[in-house]
Amino acid sequence: MSRTILVVAEHRGGALRQVTYESLHAATLSSTENDQLHVAVIGHSLDNLTESLSSINAEKIYLIDHPDLQQYNPEAYLTAVIQVIDASNPDGIILGHTAIGRDLAPMISAKIDAGQISDVTNIENIDEQVVYTRPIYAGKAFEKKVFQSTPWVVTIRPNNIAGADSSGDKAEMEHIEYAKPASLRTVIKDVVQNTSGKVDLSEAKIVVSGGRGVKSADGFKPLQELADVLGGAVGASRGACDADYCDYSLQIGQTGKVVTPEIYIACGISGAIQHVAGMSQSKIIVAINKDPEAPIFKIADYGIVGDLFEVVPLLTEEFKKVLG
Amino acid sequence: MDIYVILKQTFDTEEKIIVEDGTISEDGVQYVINPYDEYAVEEAIQKREELGGNVYVIAVGPERTSEALRTALAMGADEAVLISDERIGSDENTISKVLAAYFEGQKVDFILGGYFSVDNGAGQVAIRLAQLLDIPHVGSITKLDISNDKALADRDAEGDLEQVEVTLPAVFNAQQGLNEPRYPSLPGIMKAKRKPLQQLTLDDLDIEESELIPKTARKDLFLPPQKEAGQILKGETAEQVKELVEKLQHDAKVL
């Protein structure tokens, strides 16, 4: 029997976000041969997305385009997603575990009385059963979970599941008119874009992170310069955040964000358990620390024992040279 | 104002995780109020100090959770309720329905919870609860202002900041940076011993058995492979830096 899996797409600046390609792949991994793949695209001025959407490998794309959906508003987006769900009638729904997905998914789950597995990092098919792996205790341990009922909802962690290739035939597009609610209890008054970090920390391929050893807010400048040269993002340990050297939004650890970049460069970070939980799954870990006994060296692939204020600027210069 | 906090007790974040017989060992583990819920407790107390009223702290969990509730009472909450029942399990759908059953019939101005719990980390229960109660929520807040029947909250959205206005009652999920949680004072700890801590089971709530059937199940639990210590580079700093860049260029595709 053929089932339907619905991916709720995310887009930014006229392009689909990488996590949406990963969600599409997650949908394939969650399905059997005859399953139908549907996509929900919600927002405003969606014409910009036509090109990205035309290459998606899916049976059907539902679009809801309305000025009220320009910004994420939980109630408005839920209304729109439920409209798509009514049309698509999916067995499973997949979203990114992002600022939008982690807010919207539990609303959908409660609304349609679905089980939900959040923050999935791997999907396998074991004995005809789809098994979802997810970190617990911020990655100190992992659990494998299955659904015991339908419908179900999954959110996937960015950067962990490979993106689907975009070689599909043209999917059928269906526009749905937004059933604007008479009134909303939630109003988005203002959105202040974060201008400091250009690359989103949780999606960054390279993270340059600072701890107490950075010593001050100014101490983060050389780290930002290195991150800029590498096209990466700046993160921080709890110690640096608690000492007010940087904003809590940069915190990596069991409290804060969990990141899994290709390269993680820890500068002046000792390596407390609570921080390591948030970064130990990075592919390559580099540690720069004055203290040769710092626990961070135990999990680092490469370590430099030295003063970060000397090492980091040299590293920036060297990367500038070799990367042109 | 009737201000509610939903709270979970978790392992201290400095605890190592040990798996024994397919479950996580609780031997000798230090427990704390889930750090994000601690911000929620603090915010609730500050709002009561500003607006008047009562702070009620509600938890679903095993008996030991009463310690976390006592800590919240010692911080300044007025009353606590522990819903403890072996039939509840750990599925987020079930827990949110148990909480919804508790809140049915309570007069609520707003409910605070944590952004997520540092153990399970699913971040579902508070948002599901808001839906089940048919009230709005604001996730991941770093600022909250209440005036009359409205609230203005700052929501942290991956570093961007959204100013969100909702009508009360509503649910708010506390993000880091919302406040600095206070430590319980000695008089606070003494007072907490006399504050009401009510214990409920499912028999006290109006909930169907069918709502308790978990929709998800755990098949396996494992620890990530231990990362092995790599190489400490040697030589002059400039040489080390050069060597590091070469190694990274060789190892990492992104460069």
Query: What burial letters (b/e) apply to B24-61, b meaning 16+ CB within 10 Å?
Result: beeeeeebbbbbbbbbbbbbbbbbbeeeeeebbbbbbb
* ipTM computed for the complex: 0.94
Buried b (16+ CB within 10 A) or exposed e, A130-141: bbbbbbbbbbbb
Collect all residues of chain A within an 8 Å Cβ-Cβ radius of residue B98.
none
What is the structure's pLDDT at A195?
58
**Which positions in chain A touch B125 (Cβ < 8 Å)?**
106
pLDDT for the residue B227: 77
Q: Does A137 touch chain B (CB under 8 A)?
A: yes
The distance of B194 to chain A (nearest Cα, Å) reads 32
pLDDT tens digits for range B165-222: 999 999 999 999 999 999 999 999 999 999 999 999 999 999 998 889 999 999 999 9
Decide: residue B213, CB within 10 A, 0-12 exposed, 13-18 middle, 19+ buried.
middle
| Cα B76 to chain centroid, rounded | 18
Q: Are strands B2-7 and A302-305 parallel, antiparallel or unpaired?
A: unpaired
The per-residue pLDDT for range B106-117, each reduced to its tens digit, is: 999 999 999 999
pLDDT at A324: 76
The pLDDT, as a whole number, for residue A217 is: 96
Structure letter (DSSP) for residue A252: B
pLDDT in tens, A232-274: 999 999 999 999 999 888 999 998 888 989 999 999 999 999 9
For A137, the closest of B119, B227, B247 (CB atoms) is B119
Q: What number is the average pLDDT over the span B88-109?
A: 96
Residues of chain A scoring pLDDT < 70: 1, 168, 194-198
Tell me which residue of B113, B97, B95 sits closest to B56, measured CA to CA.
B113
- For A142, the closest of B13, B222, B249 (CB atoms) is B222
Kindly state whether A313 is in contact with chain B, defined as any CB-CB distance less than 8 angstroms: no
DSSP B224: P
DSSP A218: G
Give me the residue from A118, A298, A318 closest to B242, CB to CB. A318
- pLDDT (0 to 100) of residue A200: 80
Pairing of strands B54-60, B79-83: parallel
Cα–Cα distances in angstroms (integers) from residue B81 to residues A10, B63, B102, B128, in the given order:
40, 11, 10, 20
Does residue B97 have a pLDDT over 80?
A: yes
Average pLDDT estimate for B122-134 = 98
Task: Return the bridge partners of A8, or none.
Answer: A40
Q: Which residues of B touch A136 (CB under 8 A)?
A: 119-121
| CB contact (8 A) between residue A315 and residue B248 | no
Longest Cα–Cα distance in chain A: 63
pTM here is 0.93
Residues of B in contact with A113 (CB under 8 A): 93
Residue among A137, A148, A207, A318 with most chain B CBs within 10 A, to mutate: A137
Q: So what's the pLDDT on residue A196?
A: 55
Separation between Cα atoms, residue A306 and residue A292, nearest integer Å: 8
pLDDT tens digits along B137-158 = 999 999 999 998 999 999 998 7
Where does the pLDDT of residue B76 fall: very low under 50, low under 70, confident under 90, or very high at 90 and above? very high
pLDDT at A252: 95
How confident is the model at residue A54, as a pLDDT? 86
Q: CB–CB of A311 and B240 under 8 A?
A: yes
Residues B157-173: tens digit of each pLDDT: 877 899 999 999 999 99
pLDDT in tens, B57-73: 999 999 999 999 999 99
